[in-house]
Each structure stands twice: as structure tokens, then as C-alpha cells.
Amino acid sequence: MPPLDLPKSYDAKSHEVDVYQRWEGAGCFKAGAGHRDGKPSYTIAIPPPNVTGVLHMGHALNNTLQDTLIRWRRMQGRDVLWQPGMDHAGIATEAVVAKQLEAEGKRKEQTPRDEFIARIWAWKEQSGGTIVKQLRKLGSSCDWSRERFTMDPGLSRAVRTMFKKMVDADLIYRGTRMVNWSPVLKTALSDDEVDVKDKQGHLWKLRYDLADGSGSIAVETTRPETFFGDSAVAVNPSDERYRALIGSMVKLPIIGREIPIVADEHADPGKGTGAVKITPAHDPNDYEVGKRHGLPLIRVIGLDGAMTALCAHFAGMDRFACRKALLKEFEASGVLLGATEITHAVGHSERSGEPIEPMVTEQWFVRMAPLAARAVAETRADRLHFHPERWTKVYEHWLDNVRDWCISRQIWWGHRIPAWHCASCAKITVPDADAPDPTACAHCGAATVTQDPDVLDTWFSSALWPYSTLGWPDATPEMSRYFPTATLVTDRGIIFFWVARMVMTSLFALDKRPFSDVYIHGTVNDERGDKMSKSKGNGIDPIIMIEGGVQHYLGKDYQCPGYGADAVRYTLLDMTTEGQDLKLSPSRFETGRNFANKVWNAGRFLLMNLSERPLANPPTAQDLLARELGFPERWLLDRLQAATNDCTRALDGWRFNDYANGAYRFFRDDLCDWYVEWAKRAFKSGGDGAQTAALVLWYAFERTLRLLHPGMPFITEYLWQQLQTTAGGQPWTAGRFLMLQAWPEVEQVLADASAGARMDELQQLVIAVRNTRNQQGVADGTALAVSIATPDAAKARALEADRDFLIDRGNFSALAIAVDAAKPAAAVTSVVGALKVHVSLEGQVDLAKLKDQLTKRTQQLEKSIAGKQGRLGNADYIARAPAAQVEETKAMLAKEQAEVVTIRETLAGLG
RNA sequence: GCCCGCUUAGCUCAGUUGGCUAGAGCACUACCUUGACAUGGUAGGGGUCAGAGGUUCGAGUCCUCUAGCGGGUACCA
């Protein structure tokens, strides 16, 4: 054995950085790298991570899937672009810098807007975008030269263009509406940024006295503090209890303001007391009631969540503190008639966590109905596909029910709304996207215009991502080459936020869908099934899994040795089944690490052996066929074709686990366990057989590396480069990379349909003898004499052809094959189909174990035989089942019956 | 309330259009440090496919209902 500088175990850390740099340095990630003539383009626009973000396991999964698709398509010769970039994450990023200011004892409100924005840019340049570096560690083959940021000048221009286009199409309007207000963030939010949670609360029953002193009416509310803003009490017009009261006035407690009792269908006689207080300024339903009855909007809670001056001595108090204090007072004064505990749904700000305050404010909106109609039409017309398909319904349901989208945010970091308000005529000027900022009103000409202070929702710019990154609104070469994109890979959480909005804007502005397929993967959970999150301490850091370190997980410290990116990727692929959620634990990544090590060692074996007998050139299918291939070689090459087909079909069908498994099973079960072991014999004997084995092994292993590459790019690239030294080449030759080699196609000339069944029988014979050896307590290394009794001479002759294979793989000291092969004196007989396998043993034979096994097998077979006999005895089965099916059952039955007969004979012989 | 998903070996999960004796990994048992690999090998043990009905020649797979778990969505009277 020549010295070899490959260590016994694969150490990912010593290769991954180097391999990545070589790829990037050689331009392998660039759009169009490896493109072969005539092949169409394949584009994925990355879901842009937040500039504030760090890589978590969900990103690792998301990007592993994208990279697997991208590398696979690139190897297929497609003109591939994986477009990377980040979004500016308006609220999150602003919060980061606001916190920094606080640490310095300053407040955002006291900082000039320009200065604040400058600070955010400085922060972004210095510490933003960590995640992009981390994506490289994962192996992501994005075209980094095309990295984009939503606040780039080009993308900002796209935003401005879209805004103007939508204003002109009457799809964007400004209006005073009830919106979701976050008192903590002090901005409006869209409906999608509200997290509705079930909360324990109380239904407080309040007594409102009639103004004329003739009695009172009871109302129930979960939010007594809003009573200051009540403008009416509503009752259902059909409600007999209150019919007489409609039109009379009640006098609010404490403040004494008088409000009418109105009739409105909104009041449900079955709910509460049937009479409901109406606070149009602080409740969406009440807002609608208020509009119907012309009730005044009385704002009693301010933008900061504190009670306004209209709230008597509660003015200035926080809304929740006010509730507490108010109830005390109500109780004392007899206004509070009772309380029931209830569970009710309360909207919370997704980002800051506090309960949303419905607030009537002036905001910008996108009119969704016309956009949504077109977006729905795409799936209905089968032009846009979700995988798994069930997400189509979720997408369509949202679009069918969507309300107008509030796009203005009262923050500073983002795209400032390109609209100017005129102080003279109060009209709004929205300039053309490429025009300079207006200095005069487009309506009255006055020079009294000021830009709207608000910025756009971050998702407004994200909605343009698939084309703004390619240069839209300009007709760039990239637009014509890579748009529409092909696939979007994301999770279910942003189907509404992002996927639907991209479809809407793209159809509106470009009359094209932005992508044809949307793959929705599962959510990454911890091993208990809970979603991973920082606050729960159950997150697993992909970078720690790749590079090693201490992982704090579920209250324990897990010492991770560093499994490498390939291991992390492979494990995630292996677990990705049809969009089901993943349950992960740190040790789960051993799956991938172990497999990577196995690949490494197979490569090591090949390199050791082939360095002794190098090939002149990488062998082709024709080179292999030119030689006299033995049966195991033909079988292996046939299996390779099947594996190639399986892997391709799996990726084609978005079945990532089938891809990972298909490659794994061929590699381990067929290539390593059977062929490599067989080839060792050939290598030992040398000569022509060794040369054939070398060719076959080189070919099969090299194809396997190609198949594995999209999932495990680093180790496969490294081994592939090393492999070149054994076929007349050098590693890292300019421009030669595995990642740009062709994805294997099925080579029909190497397929051999008969090989499978033949090998199957041989393997069973070998396993039967190994089993006997194990069962009888004979060491694996002990060669045993075997004789096989066949039912007829033809079978005996057929088996003779595989004598060498059987002897070698079964470790036989001798092999006799004959129709009447007799059982030697001290021997154990097992049964393979209609074959009896006599294994000679020295000394005691454990008959009990043998009998147990044979009896168990008989029972198994009898059950199966009875089932088949029942089926074949059924006239309906014969008449209705497909003929081929019936034939197969008959053949199977005959086989099983033959085996039972043979086992019975054997058992009888044991006495 | 409505919608969706899940329930298969001790654990985590596969099981394409209904059709061989229901599979894999981990864990477990026994044996093996043999010249690619103990991050390994060999051979095993382990499942009335959540429950009940139905369709069918045939159901883990299709339909209905029930139970449990998870997700989404609606509702702050």
C-alpha cells in the first residue's frame, strides 16, 4: 500500500473554505457559468434575508434546497442565475440603531432624521449582512457579483417607479382609515403584521344610565377604558328587550356625555347583554357601525397608547393602567355590574409584542381587489404551481379575502413615500420616477410642497425583488435572459407577505408571473416539535454545526465537533419530505457526517488502488463496453443507471429526501457493500481483471460524485479533483470543476435488465451462509465448505457461472453445486427459494436455533401462501385484476410453495 | 368556528397514480478492530400502519365519521 496523504477520517474544516474560494475565484457562481448551448435559463431569486439577520436553521434549510436545485440545474447545462441579496428590514433595523442611541443616552426623537439615517447606513456597512458570509459557509452558489440590497439606488428607483405606476392606475390611494397601530413602534402596520393570539380576559358588564333617569341599560366590554370614546350604544332592531329604547339617550358615567341608543344589525341579541357600546375610533367593527350612523370619532387613546385629554382624570395614563384604575372606580360607583372570565383573540404587534391599538389615521393604501384577482387567475389557469399543491388553496383564500394593504409606516428607515403635499391647495404631487423631487405643486403651482414624512412598508420593495434585482424598470439583458424566474423556495410563513405580493406586482407591471413554481418547505422544529426560537433557547446554530463549538440547546451544552457544511446539508435534505416539518436535534447531523465520512473513505480506497494502476483517461461508457465485463460489473453499471434515474426524477418532483436516499443507497448498498468488496479480490489478483475493476470503479464512483454534488458540494468537488490524478489529469486544472460537469444521464447501453434478479439470488445465498455462520457462533473470517442443491441441472449450470463470486463474497472454503448435492454429516441447511444451502461445520451444530429459524420462516411463508391462494381462488380477482398482476401472483405463489417444500424436507432431515 | 397537515418499529420518518412477505436511519442484541471507513462491517430482534365504518377482486394508500397532536385563519360583546 503506497503512502497516501488522505487521513482516515474526513475533516470538513480543512477543505470547505479552500474549495469555496476556488469556485468563487474561477467564476463558477456567475450567472451562466457552465451554460451549454440551447439550454434554457433557470433562475432563483433568493428570499432576501434581513440586513440585521443571522443565519438560523430555517435559512440553512431554505438555502440548502435552493442550492441543491441550482447546482443540479447548472450541471444540466441550464443558464443558471441564483440572485442573492438582502432587504433593509425597516422596523427591525431602525430598532437596532435606536437601541444604540439609547445606550448613548440619546433618543431617536431628538436626533435629526438625516443624521439617524446616516447612522443606519454606517451600521449596515459595518455590521450588517452577517448572514451573507454565513450563506457562503453553507456552500451557496449565488452569483455574489450581482448581490443587491433593497435600498440600492436601482432598487429604490424600481420602488419609485412602481409607486407612480400604481398611483396613476388608481391602485394606490391615501385615506383616513382604521388601521393596526403599534403604540410601541408608533407606526401603522399591515394586517399581516398582526399576530392574533388567544388571551385570557374579562367581559366587564357596565351600567349606562338613561339620560332621562328612567332606568339603565347594561353593556358588556373587554375594554372598559374605551368607554370615554363611546358615541352610541347599539341594539339589534329585532331585539324586543330594547326596541322601546331605540332613539333615547344614555349618559356616560364620569364624563356625563350623552350618546344615543341606535339600532344596528351588528348587535347580536345572543351575545352578552345584546346591547353593545360603540367606540368608532378604537374598534374596527364599531368604526363601521359609526359610519352607518354618522357617529363622531372620539379618539381617547393617543398614538403612544396613553389616554387623551378627553379622559377626565385618567388623561395621560397608559391604556392598561387606566383600565385597572377605571374598574376600581366603576366598582365603587356601581357602574360595574359584573365580570366573566373569557378567552378572546387579541391582535398583537408581531414585532414588538404589545396588543395592537386599532386607530383611525391617515395612511397610504394599495387597492388589492384588482391585483388579487389577477394573482388568483394565475393559479387557477395553472400558470403558477405550489409544491406541495395544498398551499394553492391557502394562497387563493388569502387573495379572495384580502383587504387593502396599508403601506405607509411612521418610521424613517426605508423608501420615503415619493409624494409631496401642497400647503396651498392640499393636493398631492407624485412625480415621475426619474424626475427630480418636485419644488412646486403640480396642481396649483405653489412652491409650498413638502415630501410625505412616512416610508413604505419593507414588503413593498420586497414585492418587486424578482425583477428589481434584474434591473427593472429598464429593459436590461438580464431581464430578458433571466425573467420570469423559475422557482421560489420559501416557507409557509410568508406566502401572504411576500409570495402573493410578488405575483401581484409582477402581473401588474410586467404582465408576467414572477416565477412558475413555488416550493414551500417545512418549519424547523426542535426534537420535541416546538418551533425553534431564540427566546425558547431551542435553536440550533447551523454555523456551530458546520464549524464546531458549544451549542446551548434546551438547557444543555452540546459540544459539537463541527460536522461540516455537507453533513448539515445532507441531513436537512434527508429530512425534507413533501413540506413536512422537521424535528431536529444537534446529534441528528451525525447522519450527514457519517455519510460524508463514508464517501471520503470510498474515495480514499479508490485513490489508493488506482494510484498503483492509473488510467490513461477518464473512462467512458464505450471504454467499459469495450472490455469483457463480468456479471458484477454489469450489475453495478445497471444499478448506477437506476440510481441516476431515481435521483433525477426525485429532484424533478421536488422530493429532496428521495434524492438524498437514492444516492445514498446506491452508494452504500451497491457500490461499497457489494462491488468495492468484490473489486478488492480483483485488485489483489492483478492483471486484466484488476484493470477492468479499476475502470468500472472509476466510472461508477465519478458518476456517483456527480449525483451527490448538488447535495454535498464540498467533499464531492474535492474528491473529484483528487480523482483526476488517477486518470491522466491533475487536480484543480484551470476551469475544470465537478460543479460544472454534466449531470449524469441514463446510459441505456449500460443497462442490464436481467442483472437485478440474478444478483438478488446470489446475495441471498451469500447472506444465508453468513447468517448460518453468525447463528452458529462461527467467526466471520472462517471459511466454510458449502454445497448447494438445485431443483434441476439447468439451475446448477447457471449457478456455476457465478461460482467465483459466491466463494469470494460468502467466504467459502469449497463450493459444490449439484441437483442432488447431499448434506454433509455435520452441516446446517438453509433455504433460498428452491435452493438448499448446506454449510459444513466443525463440531456441534446448534439445531435448536436452526429449527427455530426455519419454523418461523415457514409460518411467514404459509401466511403469505394462504393469502395468495385465497386471492387466486377468487373468481372476481381472476376476472378483474390486470392479467399481469394475476400472473405475478401465480409466479410468486409457486416460488413460495417451492421454498416451503424445501424447508419441510430440511426440517424432516433434522429429525 | 372554519381550513389544512399529521397519527406506520422504542425514537425520527419514508411509503408517487390502490397490487410482491410494509421500508430506512437512530437506538437495541450478537459477533468482528480484515489492508477505504469503528464517523465502520456482518447477521439479527422489533410494527394487528390511531380507532370505527364504507368503496373495491384487493386499502397503510380512496371515502365518511371519531379521537389526539400541530399549523393557519376568523372573532377584542
| Nucleotide in closest CA–C1' contact with A880 | B57
pLDDT more than 90, % of chain A? 64
Closest of A32, A152, A25, A45 to residue A483, by C-alpha: A45
Contact A378, A505 (CB under 8 A): no
Residues A526-567 have pLDDT tens digits of 888 888 888 788 889 999 999 999 999 988 888 999 999 999
Q: Look up residue A253 and give its DSSP letter.
A: T
At residue A436, does pLDDT exceed 60? yes
- pLDDT confidence of residue A35: 96
- Distance in angstroms (rounded) separating the CA atoms of residues A791 and A473: 78
Q: Which one, of A340, A404, A374, lies nearest residue A179 by Cα? A: A404
Interstrand relation of A172-182 and A357-366 (parallel, antiparallel or unpaired): antiparallel
- Residue with CA nearest C1' of nucleotide B36: A605
3-state class of A301 per DSSP? strand
CA of A906 to C1' of B43 (A): 21
pLDDT at A2 over 80: no
Instruction: Say whether pLDDT at A213 is over 70.
Output: yes
pLDDT of residue A4: 60
Q: What radius of gyration, in Å, describes the C-alpha atoms of chain A? A: 37
Using the C1' atom of nucleotide B72, identify the protein residue whose alpha carbon is closest: A394
- Mean pLDDT of all residues in A404-410: 93
Joined grid coordinates for residue A638: 445497471
Q: Which residues pair with A175 in a beta bridge?
A: A363
Distance CA A32, CA A42 (A): 9
pLDDT tens-digit map of A167-181: 999 999 999 889 999
Distance A214 CA to B77 C1' (A): 24
Average pLDDT taken over every residue of chain A: 91
What's the CA A759/C1' B18 distance, rounded, in angstroms?
30
Local confidence band at A911 (pLDDT 50, 70, 90 cut-offs): low
Measure A363 CA to B67 C1' (Å). Answer: 48
Nucleotide nearest to A879 (CA to C1'): B57
CA of A148 to C1' of B17 (A): 43
**What are φ and ψ of residue A485, in 5° steps?**
-75, 170
Q: Which three cell numbers stand for residue A67?
A: 442550492
A144 alpha-carbon distance from chain centroid: 22
Quote the pLDDT of residue A190: 87
Rounded-to-integer distance, Cα A515 and Cα A504, Å = 12
DSSP state of A49: P
Residue nearest to nucleotide B76 (CA to C1'): A346
Shortest CA distance to A41 belongs to which of A487, A504, A500? Answer: A487
| Protein CA at A129 to nucleotide C1' at B51, angstroms | 52
Supply the pLDDT for residue A269.
84
Closest amino acid to nucleotide B58 (CA–C1'): A877
Q: What cell was used for A473?
A: 424598470
Q: How far is the CA of A341 from the C1' of B65 (A)?
A: 34
Q: Are A356 and A182 in contact (CB under 8 A)?
A: yes
Q: Which of A359, A341, A331, A339 is nearest to A253 (CA)?
A: A331
> In this structure, how many other beta carbons lie within 10 angstroms of the beta carbon of residue A2?
8
Q: Give pLDDT tens digits for A273-284.
A: 888 999 999 998
Q: What does the angle CA A454 – CA A455 – CA A459 come to, to the nearest 5 degrees?
A: 145
pTM of the model: 0.93
Model confidence band, residue A760 (pLDDT cutoffs 50, 70, 90): very high
The model's confidence at residue A655, banded by pLDDT at 50, 70 and 90, is very high
Question: From CA A759, how far away is CA A770, in angstroms rounded?
Answer: 16
- Count of alpha carbons within 13 Å of A865, Cβ hemisphere only? 14
**Confidence label for A852 from pLDDT (cuts 50, 70 and 90):** confident
Q: Residues A889-901: what's their mean pLDDT?
A: 88
Q: Which nucleotide is closest to the Cα of A899 by its C1'?
A: B21
With CA of A895 and C1' of each nucleotide, the nearest comes out as B20
How many Å does it take to go from CA A853 to C1' B11?
28
Instruction: Tell me the per-residue pLDDT of A777-830, one tens digit each, with 9 for 90 and over.
Output: 888 888 999 999 999 999 999 999 999 999 999 999 999 999 988 888 888 888
**pLDDT by residue (tens digit) across A50-81?**
999 899 999 999 999 999 999 999 999 999 99
On chain B, which bases lie within 7 A of the protein's CB atoms? 3-6, 12-16, 19-21, 24-26, 30-32, 34-45, 56-58, 69-77
Residue A734 dihedral angles phi and psi, to the nearest 5° = -45, 125
DSSP state of A356: P
CB A841 within 8 A of CB A828: yes
Between the CA of A615 and the C1' of B11, what is the distance in angstroms? 47
Helices (H), A76-187: 90-103, 113-127, 130-137, 153-168
- Arithmetic mean of pLDDT, A232-259: 89
Q: Give the model confidence (pLDDT) of A43-52 as tens digits.
A: 999 999 999 9
Residue (of A484, A573, A463) closest to A521 by Cα position: A573
CA distance A759 to A425: 88
Nucleotide at minimal C1' distance from the A867 CA: B21
Cα torsion through A540, A541, A544, A545, rounded to 10: 60
In DSSP notation, A500-561 reads: IHHHHHHHHHHSS-S-SEEEEE--EEETTSPBP-TTTT----HHHHHH-EEEEETTEEEEE-
pLDDT band at A589 (very low <50, low <70, confident <90, very high): very high
Instruction: Note the residue count of chain A.
Output: 911
